[in-house]
Amino acid sequence: MEIRKFHISDISQIVILFYETVHSLNKKDYTQEQLDSWASKDDEAFRLESWKDSMSNNITYVALINDRIVGFSDMTLKGYLDRLYVHKDFQGQGVASSLITVLEIEARKLGLTKLDIDASITAKSFFEHHGYQLVQTQCVIRKGIKLFNFKMIKVFH
């Protein structure tokens, strides 16, 4: 596995990976209606543009296996871990752990003392395993649909 910085040319693969991962992996914790509000095919063109901009401004890494993007993650310069997704066929292979390790190293280089994230129900145990503490349960409204997630934080010592 190779971890490298995001290139703008990665955006199409990333948007597809996001959609497929949400709709396959998260279906055990969210209803179809919730998944559609979170990751709608109708939002793909918007996501291609908006994510290209935000990922270019954030600290963003992709994970590749055999030149194929199998995961991605990004954080703001203030330490908000915005996205962390791993391809549905590459779960449990250390991709997410490698990505989060790289971002935590970058956060320390920036002098940040903590990272925070809004973790899905599906991802909560992963983040707990990596030392993130639950701050609160949140209800987010997307397209009129309620989605529950968790504000989590990791403080560096």
Give the pLDDT of the chain (157 residues) as one tens digit per residue: 999 999 999 999 999 999 999 999 999 999 999 999 999 888 888 999 999 999 999 999 999 999 999 999 999 999 999 999 999 999 999 999 999 999 999 999 999 999 999 999 999 999 999 999 999 999 998 889 999 999 999 998 7
Q: What's residue 105's pLDDT?
A: 96
| DSSP, res 122 | T
Question: What residues pair up with 3 in beta bridges, in sequence order?
Answer: 63
**Domains of the chain as residue ranges with CATH:** 2-111 (3.40.630.30)
Q: What's residue 43's pLDDT?
A: 86
Order of strands, edge to edge, in the sheet holding 145-155? Answer: 2-5, 59-65, 68-75, 80-86, 114-120, 145-155, 133-142
Q: What's residue 63's pLDDT?
A: 98
Q: What's residue 157's pLDDT?
A: 75
CA distance 10 to 68: 10
Q: Are the C-beta atoms of residues 16 and 71 closer than 8 Å to each other? A: no
Q: What is the pTM of this model?
A: 0.94
